[in-house]
Amino acid sequence: MTRPSKPEGQTFIEEARRKQIIDAALQTIAEQGYTQTSFAEIAKGLGITKGLIAYHFNGKHDLITSAIHTILNRQGAYIKSHVDGKEIASEKLQAYIGSSFEYIEQNRSHFVALVDLWGSFTSAEEKEAFSRAAYDPCRAHLKKILTVGKNQHEFAKLNEQTMATVIQGAIDGVMLQWVFDPEAVDLKDASRELSEMFVKRVKK
């Protein structure tokens, strides 16, 4: 359970293989669903054997955890690069929401997989760990933006924890509907709507 991802001293090939396998896993999960995704299935799509996957990861749990972190880190980096370019807090908030949806739209399969992966957590502890890995950084980032805005006298005084929760929640909830049926949701409209509404809501 608490085994490390894999011991230190990774070679280049080691790292490259892990990345390759994670990407293949993500694609397979998005295409076939988590329950249908076996080591054998991932290996087939990669032209390697399932034994090799077992060699590079400490079990399925390690692979899944790594895959989730990969998605989350990539999206986080994408958002950060857009938010950091802005000076004004309201623009930062708009950038956060806008770039979140941009990344989602450009990487649909990642989020299809992510929604599937939620079901792979068996215990309350794992769920909580996921929460810390996935939501804590997001809410922290949002809270920082809100605090900056307040300090710059642009934003009103508000419950930042709750506001961060609902902003992130709205993004995720819209994404979720789009994952289940992309036809049913206009991602750009929703992005614009949320952006406008939340900026108006937090401004003085």
Please give the residue ranges that form the binding site for its own copies (CB under 8 A).
32-36, 112, 115-123, 127-128, 130-132, 134-136, 139, 159, 161-163, 165-166, 168-177, 179-181, 184-186, 189-190, 193-194, 197, 200-201
Question: Phi/psi zone of residue 59: left (φ > 0), alpha (ψ -120 to 50 degrees), beta?
Answer: left
Kindly report the number of other CB atoms within 10 A of residue 175's CB atom.
22
Minimal distance, residue 155 CB to its own copies, in Å:
14
CA gap 87, 83 in Å, rounded: 9
CB distance 98 to 194 below 8 Å: no
Q: Does 39 interact with DNA (rule: CB under 7 A)?
A: yes
**Three-state DSSP state, 24:** helix
Beta bridge partners of 89: none
Work out what residue 193 binds among DNA, its own copies, none; the CB cut-off runs from 5 to 8 Å by kind: its own copies
CB distance 40 to 50 below 8 Å: yes
Give the one residue of 5, 19, 55, 162 binding DNA; rule: CB under 7 A.
55
Q: Does 54 interact with DNA (rule: CB under 7 A)?
A: yes
**Which residue type, as a one-letter code, is found at position 52?**
L
Q: Does 33 interact with DNA (rule: CB under 7 A)?
A: no
Work out what residue 54 binds among its own copies, DNA, none; the CB cut-off runs from 5 to 8 Å by kind: DNA
User: Judged by CB, which is closer to DNA: 91, or 126?
Assistant: 126
CB distance 57 to 39 below 8 Å: no
CA gap 65, 151 in Å, rounded: 37
Minimal distance, residue 63 CB to its own copies, in Å:
14
Minimal distance, residue 41 CB to DNA, in Å:
6
Q: What are the structure tokens assigned to 84, written together?
A: 């950091």
Interface stretch with DNA, choices 45-53, 75-83, 100-108, 109-117 (CB under 7 A): 45-53
Work out what residue 39 binds among its own copies, DNA, none; the CB cut-off runs from 5 to 8 Å by kind: DNA
